[in-house]
Amino acid sequence: MKKRKTREGEEGMEIVWQTPANPPEPQDYIFRNGRRHVLPYYFEFISHVKNRWAGKTIVDLFSEEFKGRPYDYYVSAVKCGRIQVDGEIVPVSYIVKRSQKISHFVHRHEPPVMAWDVSILQKEPDVLTVCKPASVPVHPCGQYRKNTVVGILQAEHGLAPLFPIHRLDRLVSGLLILARNASKADLFRQQIEAGLVQKQYIAKVIGEFPVDEQTVDANIDYNAREGRSTAEEKDTSSDTPVKGKVACTKFTRISTDGTTSIVLCEPITGRTHQIRVHLQYMGHPIANDMLYLSKHVTDRSAGGTSADRAAFESHHFLKSSFHDKFHEECEENPRYEFSIDPMCTNCPYLAPKGYDAHEEGMWLHCVRYSGPGWTYECPYPDWASLS
């Protein structure tokens, strides 16, 4: 059941608050300009006070740890009960204690994703395989909850629960295997951890890839702060230890036109961004992988996520452009109207601030997974042909 709560300072407005227990529904989605959008909704974010948070005031905690909104917003949110501690409204000077439950009630705007369908490949009693579209995350994470493969499958096909048994980056497309019960998911994970599962991807890379099979044995060091990995091989003439985790990928050229090549990629290990960074390491990065094509990448974590920073920077602009933009969108798309929340730092826009409206799917596609007695495959994408 959805939780109905009325907060102080909202002039008696009834708001339907959602929690992760509320399933996505078909009417939550709208399609516009080739994008799948989620209608903004009210949501309760729940966290518990970490050791390093204890002793801070509730307002300082939020302004220091969650930089996506201005300080004044957090003051107002605490005063009107949009931020609560252990289910109670507290003063702005309240000092939080370790392990306390903190609820932040927000008007949530999810980033749009490409409007491609999540097509079902095989539907078995305990396994579901789909072709994941690029730009759609696999499961709830960050700003995404309903605009995920798991959320879309639940809303459009009534398929739940689902347990993804492997990862695909958000911008990567292709085969995704989901177990339909926990015991089958555990079996898959055991096989993967035991090295019994073979994985195949295809990529479109820069340059004329070597004709012979190539094997890259280079450690992968993932920097969570920057959101990228680097590759490093052991220098036999030095005792300096190599950073990162052991990683190995085999590559085989499928075709080339001299400018780009289609390459079969077989990761032996499973490190973050392994295929992408190993191809970069070889001098043949994926041809539209902006993260690894560039040698200079802005630190995306400084000051919060890009969307958070943009929300902060646009806070005052929103106040002045509120009515013009809202009426403009409603006139062009009358069926896309939604309730505007006076405290929301993203309203009146449908999408949150800061998402890349021009992003495209990466030319990396999962085509095949196989293990003891089973094989699942996904068709090649259109970009895989160089003819």
* Catalytic residue list: 169
Q: DSSP strand E in 109-157: where?
A: 113-114, 119-123, 127-132
Which stretches of the chain are DSSP H helices? Answer: 58-65, 71-79, 149-157, 182-193, 274-282, 290-293, 306-313, 315-332
Which stretches of 216-314 are DSSP H helices? Answer: 274-282, 290-293, 306-313
Distance CA 233, CA 282 (A): 12
- 44 to 14, 48, 83, 104: CA distances (angstroms): 15, 13, 9, 6
Q: Can you list the pairs that 276-280 forms with residues at least 24 positions away whose Cβ atoms lie under 8 Å?
A: 276/229, 276/364, 277/220, 277/228, 277/229, 277/230, 277/231, 278/216, 278/218, 278/220, 278/231, 278/247, 278/249, 278/251, 279/203, 279/205, 279/251, 280/231
Contact 55, 74 (CB under 8 A): no
Q: Is 268 helix (H, G, I), strand (E, B) or coil?
A: coil
Cis status of the peptide bond prior to 140, with omega within 30 of 0 = no
Residue for token digits 């347990």? Answer: 163
Angle at 331 between CA 326 and CA 334, to 5 degrees: 95
Contact 227, 358 (CB under 8 A): no
Q: Provide the terminal-to-terminal Cα distance of the chain, rounded to the nearest Å.
A: 54
Q: Residue 25: what residue type?
A: E
Q: Which residues contact 299 (CB under 8 A, 6 or more apart)?
A: 225, 226
Q: Is 148 left (phi over 0), alpha (psi -120 to 50) or beta?
A: beta
**C-alpha gyration radius of the chain:** 23
Contact 49, 58 (CB under 8 A): no
